[in-house]
């Protein structure tokens, strides 16, 4: 089996030399010209450097689109539910829906999961999706738009499709995950599996998302621009609860409204730090996404390749960190070092741009603006950016206690688009677990960036509200 993985990895590496010049760039998703006609919401959607490839790794990027609305005379935003009859919607010629809209969850259970639509390019190829691709989505559920004026906002989050299939997790290090009796963890399906990290042994149930099944993951870490969108649809009290005014790059966000709910940022593409686990999970619930499991994180990094000891997300155990940048606004920040870097790690000052000798997270996708290979861009096997370095990412661990035989009960339930009356995520499935900060951040040493690193394990009950200057996250669906 190991030989098969190495042969597959060689084929993928050859293909990715051709693909990564376009796959892994910051892709500038834009929503424009939003118009309501009755129950239909029409808008234009565009993004750059889209891909849909048949050859290995046989995946595509996508955009998760969801809608919030409120009467202009009211303060509370609602999350729109979409018609599950796909003929009720229309899509421009270059785009289509990636999966049908369903009321049921990923297990085929429940209702109310028709909270958005995943959009992808309709043809096989690589290139920009221009703004001439209009979408019309039909709204259903309790809302019946009347003659009053409504404030309607359409949100778009770039995603990457992680293909179904077996993969290797863990490594040869003592605390990395292993299958009982093996040196690593070989995930071949979603069935229960016996695992260990040399300090405990447990049987992980079938319901825990192991990464074998296909899923979509956010292409980038949560950015300041995305978080501003989130804050500006909350009540003033809830927004203030989630807004941290500490130093480092978080300082480019500000509250400019007299009523407390007009947030802005001068660096919309910059990864957002100082996020607690409550912050990340509440953003994901609001966006109708869900938290990553630590196994899904490893799958998104490694794909179908073999494990390489101590490797980072780009498949190598070496990297080049950033020291110098240019560009002081969102979308144009680039690294200027020679040789060109592919990561942000190790607590060193950064010169130029908005940094001027300060420290903190860089703009997401920045390294892809100056390189066109997987290693050079710091991209994962599937084209996901900054899974190693920049910001540590909250992922749910395989265990619910730091002891033997305590498997996680997390099932991967999706968010419903709402937070609760206390201003927190309302998904019971996400509560009470242990979590791991994966991937390392700008404040960490190099070892934290390893794909299989598990040193940062926390009990949610103790650390759910803890803030760190290099911690944030991303979600999946």
Q: Please give the pLDDT value at position 135.
A: 98
pTM: 0.93
Q: Is 57 helix (H, G, I), strand (E, B) or coil?
A: coil
Asked if residue 461 belongs to a domain, the reply is yes
Asked if residue 326 belongs to a domain, the reply is yes
Mean pLDDT, range 95-122, rounded to an integer: 95
Asked if residue 124 belongs to a domain, the reply is no
Residue 82 has pLDDT above 80, yes or no: yes
Asked if residue 114 belongs to a domain, the reply is no
Asked if residue 284 belongs to a domain, the reply is yes
Q: Give the pLDDT band (50/70/90) at residue 223.
A: very high
Q: Is 374 helix (H, G, I), strand (E, B) or coil?
A: helix
Between CA 383 and CA 24 the distance in angstroms is 6
Between CA 261 and CA 335 the distance in angstroms is 34
* Dihedrals phi, psi of 119, to nearest 5 degrees: -110, 140
The CATH number linked to 379 is 3.90.1580.10
Q: Give the pLDDT band (50/70/90) at residue 14.
A: very low
Number of domains in the chain: 1
Asked if residue 13 belongs to a domain, the reply is yes
Mean pLDDT, range 137-161, rounded to an integer: 91
Between CA 161 and CA 5 the distance in angstroms is 20
Asked if residue 296 belongs to a domain, the reply is yes
Asked if residue 343 belongs to a domain, the reply is yes
What is the average pLDDT score of the chain? 89
Mean pLDDT, range 144-153, rounded to an integer: 87
Q: Give the pLDDT band (50/70/90) at residue 255.
A: confident
pLDDT tens for 257-270 read 765 578 888 889 99
Mean pLDDT, range 169-186, rounded to an integer: 81
pLDDT tens for 20-56 read 434 444 568 999 999 999 999 999 999 998 999 998 7
What is the span of the domain harbouring residue 226?
A: 1-26+161-477
Question: Strand (E) positions, 141-252?
Answer: 150-162, 167-169, 178-179, 185-187, 193-196, 201-204, 215-218
**CB 470 within 8 Å of CB 391:** yes
Residue 453 has pLDDT above 80, yes or no: yes
Between CA 362 and CA 272 the distance in angstroms is 9
Q: Give the pLDDT band (50/70/90) at residue 146.
A: confident
Q: Please give the pLDDT value at position 294.
A: 97
Between CA 115 and CA 94 the distance in angstroms is 23
Q: Please give the pLDDT value at position 18.
A: 36
Q: Give the pLDDT band (50/70/90) at residue 476.
A: very high
Between CA 164 and CA 304 the distance in angstroms is 10
Q: Please give the pLDDT value at position 174.
A: 61
Q: Please give the pLDDT value at position 5.
A: 31
Query: CA 241, 245, 249: angle at the middle one, nearest 5?
Result: 125
Residue 80 has pLDDT above 90, yes or no: yes
Residue 11 has pLDDT above 50, yes or no: no
DSSP state at residue 43: E
Mean pLDDT, range 412-428, rounded to an integer: 94
Between CA 292 and CA 281 the distance in angstroms is 10
Q: Give the pLDDT band (50/70/90) at residue 247.
A: low
Residue 16 has pLDDT above 60, yes or no: no
- 289-327 burial, b at 16+ Cβ within 10 Å, e below that, comes to bbbbbbbbbbbbbbbbbbbeebbbbbbeeebbbbbbbeb
Q: Please give the pLDDT value at position 249.
A: 56
Mean pLDDT, range 318-332, rounded to an integer: 87
């Amino acid at each position: 089996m190991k030989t098969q993985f190495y042969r597959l990895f060689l084929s993928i590496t050859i293909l990715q030399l051709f693909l990564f010049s376009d796959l892994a760039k910051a892709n500038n998703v834009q929503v424009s010209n939003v118009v309501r006609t009755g129950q239909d919401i029409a808008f234009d959607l565009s993004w750059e450097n889209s891909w849909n490839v048949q050859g290995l790794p046989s995946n595509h990027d996508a955009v998760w689109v969801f809608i919030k609305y409120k009467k202009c005379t009211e303060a509370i935003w609602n999350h729109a539910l979409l018609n599950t009859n796909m003929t009720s919607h229309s899509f421009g010629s270059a785009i289509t829906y990636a999966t049908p809209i369903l009321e049921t969850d990923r297990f085929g259970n429940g209702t109310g999961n028709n909270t958005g639509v995943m959009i992808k390019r309709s043809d096989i190829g690589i290139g920009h999706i221009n703004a001439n691709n209009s979408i019309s989505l039909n709204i259903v559920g309790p809302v019946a738009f009347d003659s009053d004026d409504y404030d309607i906002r359409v949100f778009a989050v770039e995603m990457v499709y992680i293909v179904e299939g077996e993969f290797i997790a863990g490594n040869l290090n003592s605390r990395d995950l292993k299958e009982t009796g093996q040196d690593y963890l070989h995930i071949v399906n979603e069935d229960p599996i016996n695992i260990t990290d040399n300090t405990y042994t447990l049987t992980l149930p079938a319901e825990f998302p192991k990464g074998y099944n296909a899923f979509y993951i956010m292409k980038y870490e949560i950015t300041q621009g995305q978080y501003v969108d989130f804050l500006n649809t909350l009540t003033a009290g809830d927004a203030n609860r989630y807004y941290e005014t500490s130093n480092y790059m978080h300082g480019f966000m500000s509250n400019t409204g007299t009523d407390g709910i007009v947030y802005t940022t001068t660096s919309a593409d910059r990864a957002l730090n100082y996020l607690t686990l409550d912050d990340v999970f509440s953003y994901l619930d609001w966006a109708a996404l869900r938290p990553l499991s630590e196994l899904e994180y490893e799958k998104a990094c490694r794909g179908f390749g073999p494990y390489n000891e101590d490797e980072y997300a780009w498949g190598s155990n070496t990297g080049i960190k950033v020291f110098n940048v240019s560009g002081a606004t969102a979308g144009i920040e680039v690294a200027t070092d020679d040789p060109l870097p592919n990561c942000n790690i190790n607590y060193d000052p950064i010169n130029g741009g908005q940094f001027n000798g300060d420290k903190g997270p860089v703009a997401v996708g920045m390294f892809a603006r100056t390189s066109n290979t997987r290693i050079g861009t710091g991209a994962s096997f599937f084209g996901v950016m900054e899974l190693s370095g920049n910001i540590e990412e909250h992922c749910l661990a395989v265990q619910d206690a730091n002891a033997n035989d305590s498997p996680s009960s997390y099932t991967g339930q999706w968010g419903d688009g709402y937070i609760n009356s206390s201003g927190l995520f309302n998904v019971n499935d996400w509560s009470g677990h242990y979590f791991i900060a994966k991937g390392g951040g700008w404040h960490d040493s190099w070892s934290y960036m390893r794909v299989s690193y598990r040193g940062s394990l926390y009990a949610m009950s103790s650390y759910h509200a803890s803030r760190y200057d290099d911690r944030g996250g991303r979600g999946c669906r």
